[in-house]
Amino acid sequence: MNVILICESARITGGAERVAVLEALELRKRGIRVGFIAADLIADPRLAEAGVELLLLEANSWFEETDKLKRNKMFFSNPFVREPVEAFLKQYSPEQTVIHIHSFRLKLTGTPIAIAQKMGFRTVFHCNEYATICPTSLYYNHRTQANCELKPLSIGCITCECQGQNIRHKIPKLTNHFGNKYLLKLYRRADLFIAVSPLNERTLIPHLPKPPIIVNYPHAYPTPEEMGSNEGQEFAFIGRLVPEKAPDTFLQAAKLAGVKAVIIGGGPMEEGLRAAHPEARFTGWLSDQPLKDELKNIRALVIPSRWRETFGLTVVDAIHRGIPVISTTNVGASQVVLESGAGIVTEEVTPQSLADAMKTLQDQDTWTKMREAALVWSKSNPRSTEQFVDRILELFTPLVK
């Protein structure tokens, strides 16, 4: 068997890219031939070292392209990646190769997938986001700050200004999604859809031609040196500072509860949040080792998302370290918090509901029980990259000869 991964980037810039890179490296360890198509000229150096065959494309999205003639040809897909993708795929046997799609929407568009399907390759969509069902990929209304319930590409969807900006910015996303679904028929021709949580699965089912199969995300199990006592008193938010992630609600809750708060991350809300909450500590984005050092001390992780998060990788990463988690039901990984007993899940995304949860975790006995529950769950549920690839290969094997 051969596996070709399609991902907007071949370096770890987010959750989808992280999973794609880890998958490629583990597949190569097992002697499987691996290709990787990305719209990024810089790749994680480990990929080439492992023998992954790379096609790195200098591709622009419709929004980045400055040539008007080119932009006019990109409303439905990106034709400018066609030739190199076709040449790359010709090096593989369609009967023995699975195309695993992690992300593709903005730069690659559906073009590489359509080419692969036309050439007879089996294709699998990994639904790290909602690009398979939603033109904007988030299935979220930024204007109302609420999860979307509209039927994608319905009149309501087409006319809804859901991005918090002029509706003309939505037009190329609508045409691109229409092209993927109806002109290229990518999803009807797909062999398999992979969901990453029960919440993700429930959201996808009404809009896909076949039900997705849940596969747990891979996680790096911490070494003994990376574990901490978590005796600090700070409650932590980790992630991009955007309204749908609700960092403002987190900071308001921390002030209400009278607890210390740390923000690890950055984004467009950062300046306003710093000004409004001088009592909080802001670290900005942290590289690997400084982040691990912070995780040794934080008392709890808080994921207050308003958006219907497909999963939330930091949840399991925290539980592996014995860090209790406060989550909303909008987070796919909230199921893990409930299953493990390693935290608190709240339905409301309000300062008061989160503050109540923080106060509960201020009780030392409660915090200790949840920390112990996290460590017990972690030992029996490592969710390793090896287990992830075992499951992937189990699903892929029937697709090839």
| pLDDT at position 84 over 90 | yes
Q: What angle do CA 35, 101, 58 make, to 5 degrees?
A: 65
CB 375 within 8 A of CB 318: no
Determine the Cα–Cα distance for residues 176 and 109; give it in Å rounded to an integer. Answer: 8
**What is the pLDDT confidence band of residue 401, given thresholds at 50, 70 and 90?**
confident
Q: How far apart are the first and last CA of the chain?
A: 8
Kindly state whether residues 265 and 316 are assigned to the same domain: yes
Mean pLDDT of 128-148: 95
| pLDDT recorded at residue 167 | 84
| pLDDT recorded at residue 220 | 85
What's the pTM value of the predicted model, to 2 decimals? 0.93
Kindly state whether residues 263 and 278 are assigned to the same domain: yes
Kindly state whether residues 175 and 241 are assigned to the same domain: no
Percent of the chain with pLDDT over 70: 100
CB 221 within 8 A of CB 384: yes
Give residue-wise pLDDT tens across range 145-192.
999 999 999 999 999 999 988 888 899 999 999 999 999 999 999 999
Kindly state whether residues 19 and 58 are assigned to the same domain: yes
**What is the pLDDT confidence band of residue 206, given thresholds at 50, 70 and 90?**
very high
Kindly state whether residues 327 and 209 are assigned to the same domain: no
Give residue-wise pLDDT tens across range 337-364.
999 999 999 999 999 999 999 999 999 9
**What is the pLDDT confidence band of residue 87, given thresholds at 50, 70 and 90?**
very high
CB 192 within 8 A of CB 100: no
What is the rounded average pLDDT for all residues in the chain?
A: 95
With both helix axes pointing from N to C terminus, report the angle between 385-396 and 15-29 in degrees, rounded to the nearest 10: 80
| pLDDT at position 75 over 90 | no
Kindly state whether residues 213 and 275 are assigned to the same domain: no
Total structural domains in the chain?
2
Kindly state whether residues 282 and 165 are assigned to the same domain: no
Determine the Cα–Cα distance for residues 128 and 217; give it in Å rounded to an integer. Answer: 10
Two tokens at 209?
A: 């031609």
| pLDDT recorded at residue 105 | 87
| pLDDT recorded at residue 68 | 86
Mean pLDDT of 267-292: 96
Give residue-wise pLDDT tens across range 2-19.
999 999 999 988 889 999
The dihedrals phi and psi of 83, each to the nearest 5 degrees, come to: -60, -50
| pLDDT at position 135 over 90 | yes
Kindly state whether residues 258 and 114 are assigned to the same domain: no
Kindly state whether residues 105 and 213 are assigned to the same domain: yes
Range of the domain at 171: 2-218+384-399
| pLDDT recorded at residue 331 | 97
| pLDDT recorded at residue 152 | 96
Kindly state whether residues 170 and 81 are assigned to the same domain: yes
Kindly state whether residues 170 and 266 are assigned to the same domain: no
Give residue-wise pLDDT tens across range 312-333.
999 999 999 999 999 999 999 9
Kindly state whether residues 323 and 355 are assigned to the same domain: yes
| pLDDT recorded at residue 15 | 86
What separation in angstroms does the CA of 60 have from each of 44, 74, 172, 186, 247?
A: 20, 10, 14, 21, 31
The CATH number of whichever domain residue 335 belongs to comes to: 3.40.50.2000
